[in-house]
Amino acid sequence: KQEVTQIPAALSVPEGENLVLNCSFTDSAIYNLQWFRQDPGKGLTSLLLIQSSQREQTSGRLNASLDKSSGRSTLYIAASQPGDSATYLCAVYALNYGGATNKLIFGTGTLLAVQP
């Protein structure tokens, strides 16, 4: 069974710091991995998508890496800002998991607080 775990569960940093969020998954049979942002009481905003054949993706101050063989991904946020405060979720798109339709399996999330 595919399980996705995120560490740490919560993180508080001062503004301007660079930080890394971690995501691990138990089954390397994935199509891709996505990082999302969720603000309180809101839906999800897609940040980055990494295909299974890729090693990393970058968007602005965000950089996501993928090591499929070890079942790990990291989201690097440079020069953090108070506006980055949110819950960050990673999700893997699993390949025909358990015989069912391919589906997105979410991690437990990291609650990030950037202090001004």
Partner 1 sequence: GAVVSQHPSRVICKSGTSVKIECRSLDFQATTMFWYRQFPKQSLMLMATSNEGSKATYEQGVEKDKFLINHASLTLSTLTVTSAHPEDSSFYICSARDLNGHSNQPQHFGDGTRLSIL
Residues that bind partner 1 (CB under 8 A): 31-32, 34, 36, 41-46, 49, 51, 89, 91, 93, 100-109
Q: Which is nearer to partner 1, 18 or 99 (CB)?
A: 99
| Number of other residues whose CB lies within 10 A of the CB of residue 70 | 10
Q: Which is nearer to partner 1, 2 or 63 (CB)?
A: 2
Q: Which is nearer to partner 1, 76 or 93 (CB)?
A: 93
Q: Which is nearer to partner 1, 4 or 77 (CB)?
A: 4
CB of 18 to partner 1, least distance (A): 25
CB of 35 to partner 1, least distance (A): 10
- How would you classify the pairing of strands 110-115 and 10-14? parallel
Both structure tokens of 63: 């950089």
CB of 95 to partner 1, least distance (A): 8
